[in-house]
Structure 1
Amino acid sequence: MGEQLVTAPVMSVEGRRFRIRGWMVAAVAVVAVFVFRAVSVWSASADYGGVDADGHWIDAQGAVVPSAPPSVSVVGHASPLVLVLIVLAGVVGVTLPATLARYGRHRAGRIVRVVALVAIPVLVVVGVGVYSFWQSAFVLDQVQRQTLPVTSFPWGGATVTVEHMTR
């Protein structure tokens, strides 16, 4: 007689759908804060004079001056504003979806998490890009051209120290 064959799928496509969880948003926010703080630190310095062969102080044009010429050092750092925005996006991405789910708005909560997860790296990349361009185009140019005070950009700050040269 004929044999009965029973067929069963070897592999079935089953499982849970990938969902962005709150801990993922929190982890991305923490990493983003550390990356932004690490990447946005820089320093530059310039001496606006020196000492001639006879041991006299000279300015940047080479003229002898009675006192030591200035020396400027600038240290750039991350803006607290950007760090607050990153943390705020992380907090909203973690807490708001749970609140929306409580009121039956699960889909809106998923959208909020996706937006938060995209916004955090965008803040870091755009912040570092704009901040680096500003610092290289304006601040370092001002230091080299002896323009004081040095202006900073809202995405970051700069600490300017003006001293006199020492021998």
Structure 2
Amino acid sequence: MTRTITLSLDINDRRYDVEVEPRVTLLDALRDHVGLTGTKKGCDQGQCGACTCHVDGKRVLSCLMLAAQAEGHVITTIEGLAPEAGALHPVQAAFMENDAFQCGYCTPGQIMSAVACIREGHAGSDEEIREYMSGNLCRCGAYNNIVAAVRQAAEMADA
């Protein structure tokens, strides 16, 4: 018999009560139990960044965090990033304007990391952006456009 626990998770300004096994990751809880599939499962080992979301405003690799660890914290996924339905977050808009994606699989994690990179004050130069975005891999190689998008969004935030 598999033991389960009931968690109350605050995700994108909404509370979700989920029943999961204690070993379920935040990533699997988001995708399989809540139905928020924007957060992607890439390597499932914390190496690619596709699963990046925010917990209490800080970026985390949701494949390495247990769902139980997220209870009582504020979780933001790519679905909750935009200020209102139908609108784009400035980083999302910058990604579109700079064609900062090809296949798009890594894009949600890239955007979530970019938002944190800017918020943390690490977008002062292209080199700094590359360093602080280095945990997010893009198999298509859209790095130059990603850096340009982060730079543009950071400049907009400063204005």
TM range (shorter): under 0.3
Q: Which has the larger radius of gyration?
A: 1
Query: Normalising by the residue count of structure 1, what TM-score does the alignment of the two structures yield?
Result: 0.23
Query: Normalising by the residue count of structure 2, what TM-score does the alignment of the two structures yield?
Result: 0.24
Q: Larger relative contact order (C-alpha < 8 A, sep ≥ 6)?
A: 1
Structure holding more helix per residue = 1
